[in-house]
Amino acid sequence: MKVLVIGPGGREHAIVRSLLADPNVSEVHAAPGNAGIGKLVPTHAIDANDPDAVAALAAKLTVDLVVVGPEAPLAAGVSDAVRAAGIPVFGPSKAAAQLEASKAFAKQVMAEAGVPTAMARVASNAEEAADALDTFGAPYVVKDDGLAAGKGVVVTNNRDEALAHAQTCFDVGGSVVIEEFLDGPEVSVFVLCDGRNTVALSPAQDFKRIYDNDEGPNTGGMGAYTPLEWAPEGLVQEVIDRVAQPTVNEMAHRGTPFVGVLFVGLALTKRGTRVIEFNVRFGDPETQAVLARLKTPLGSLLLAAAKGELDKAEELRWSKDTAVAVVVASENYPDTPRTGDRIRGLKKVDELEGVHVIHAGTKLDEEGKVVSAGGRVLAVVALGTDLVEARERAYDGVELVQLEGGQFRTDIGRKAARGEIKVAATNGSVTGTLPVTKAKA
Ligand code: AMP
Ligand code: GLY
For residue 208, the CA-to-ligand 2 centroid distance in Å is 8
Mode of pairing for the β-strands spanning 370-372 and 362-364: antiparallel
> Based on the domain organization, do 8 and 89 belong to the same domain?
yes
Of 10-14, 27-31, 383-387, 434-438, the one with minimum mean pLDDT is: 434-438
From 151, 266, 276, the mutation candidate for ligand 1 (largest count of ligand atoms within 8 A of CB) is: 276
Q: Which domain holds residue 36?
A: 2-93
183 within 8 A of 141, measured Cβ to Cβ = no
Q: Of 152, 179, 206, which residue constitutes the final position of a domain?
A: 179
pLDDT value at 60 more than 90: yes
Please tell me the predicted confidence (pLDDT) of residue 351.
97
pLDDT value at 109 more than 80: yes
pLDDT value at 121 more than 50: yes
Q: Give the confidence band of 103 by pLDDT, cuts at 50, 70, 90.
A: confident
> Based on the domain organization, do 170 and 88 belong to the same domain?
no
From 207, 279, 376, the mutation candidate for ligand 2 (largest count of ligand atoms within 8 A of CB) is: 279
Q: Give the confidence band of 422 by pLDDT, cuts at 50, 70, 90.
A: confident
Judge whether 18 lies within some domain: yes
pLDDT value at 435 more than 90: no
φ, ψ for residue 24 (rounded to 5)?
A: -85, -10
> Based on the domain organization, do 175 and 130 belong to the same domain?
yes
Half-sphere exposure of 412 (CA within 13 A, CB side): 36
Judge whether 167 lies within some domain: yes
> Based on the domain organization, do 25 and 81 belong to the same domain?
yes
Q: What is the mean pLDDT of residues 229-247?
A: 97
Fill in the amino acid letter for 16. Answer: V
Q: Give the confidence band of 436 by pLDDT, cuts at 50, 70, 90.
A: very low
Q: Is 62 exposed, middle or buried (0-12, 13-18, 19+ CB in 10 A)?
A: exposed
pTM value > 0.85: yes
3-state secondary structure of 232: coil
Tell me: the pLDDT tens digits for 125-172?
A: 999 999 999 999 999 999 988 766 555 889 999 999 999 999 999 998
From 153, 262, 280, 286, the mutation candidate for ligand 2 (largest count of ligand atoms within 8 A of CB) is: 286
Helices then strands, counting H and E runs in the chain, come out as 16, 24
> Based on the domain organization, do 154 and 81 belong to the same domain?
no
For residue 296, the CA-to-ligand 2 centroid distance in Å is 23
> Based on the domain organization, do 17 and 53 belong to the same domain?
yes
Residue 148 CA: which ligand 1 atom is closest? 2
140 within 8 A of 120, measured Cβ to Cβ = no
For residue 333, the CA-to-ligand 1 centroid distance in Å is 19
Judge whether 206 lies within some domain: no
Judge whether 128 lies within some domain: yes
For residue 249, the CA-to-ligand 1 centroid distance in Å is 25
Mean pLDDT of the chain: 94
Tell me: the pLDDT tens digits for 337-392?
A: 999 999 999 999 999 999 999 999 999 999 999 999 999 999 999 999 999 999 99
Q: Of 93, 110, 138, which residue constitutes the final position of a domain?
A: 93
Please tell me the predicted confidence (pLDDT) of residue 428.
47
Question: What is the count of structural domains for the chain?
Answer: 2
Site residues for ligand 1, CB cut-off 6 Å: 118, 141, 143, 150, 153, 155, 179, 181-182, 186, 208, 218, 265, 276-277
Judge whether 349 lies within some domain: no
> Based on the domain organization, do 72 and 10 belong to the same domain?
yes
Closest ligand relative to 157 C-alpha: 1
141 within 8 A of 118, measured Cβ to Cβ = yes
> Based on the domain organization, do 133 and 83 belong to the same domain?
no
Nearest CA to ligand 2 atom 3: 283
Residue 150 CA: which ligand 2 atom is closest? 5
Dihedral angle over CA of 343, 349, 351, 354, nearest 10: -150
For residue 403, the CA-to-ligand 1 centroid distance in Å is 30
Judge whether 166 lies within some domain: yes
Burial 87-123 (b: 16+ CB within 10 A, else e): bbbbbbbbbbbbbbbbbbbbbbbbbbbebbbbbbbbb
Q: In this structure, what CATH number is given to the domain that contains residue 43?
A: 3.40.50.20
Q: In this structure, what CATH number is given to the domain that contains residue 144?
A: 3.30.1490.20
Q: Of 160, 179, 198, which residue constitutes the final position of a domain?
A: 179
For residue 246, the CA-to-ligand 2 centroid distance in Å is 22
Please tell me the predicted confidence (pLDDT) of residue 429.
46
- Which residue, 423, 147, 435, 110, is CA-closest to 267? 423
From 155, 222, 284, 286, the mutation candidate for ligand 1 (largest count of ligand atoms within 8 A of CB) is: 155
Site residues for ligand 2, CB cut-off 6 Å: 150, 206, 220-221, 279, 283-284, 286
Judge whether 309 lies within some domain: no
Closest ligand relative to 218 C-alpha: 1
CA-to-CA dists, residue 259 to 6, 74, 256, 308, angstroms: 16, 11, 9, 8
The percent of residues in the chain predicted with pLDDT above 70, rounded, is 95
For residue 350, the CA-to-ligand 1 centroid distance in Å is 34
Please tell me the predicted confidence (pLDDT) of residue 140.
96
Element (H, E) at 72: helix 71-75
DSSP string, 337-370: -----BEE-HHHHHHSTTEEEEESSEEE-TTS-E
> Based on the domain organization, do 151 and 82 belong to the same domain?
no
Judge whether 41 lies within some domain: yes
Please tell me the predicted confidence (pLDDT) of residue 174.
87
> Based on the domain organization, do 166 and 126 belong to the same domain?
yes
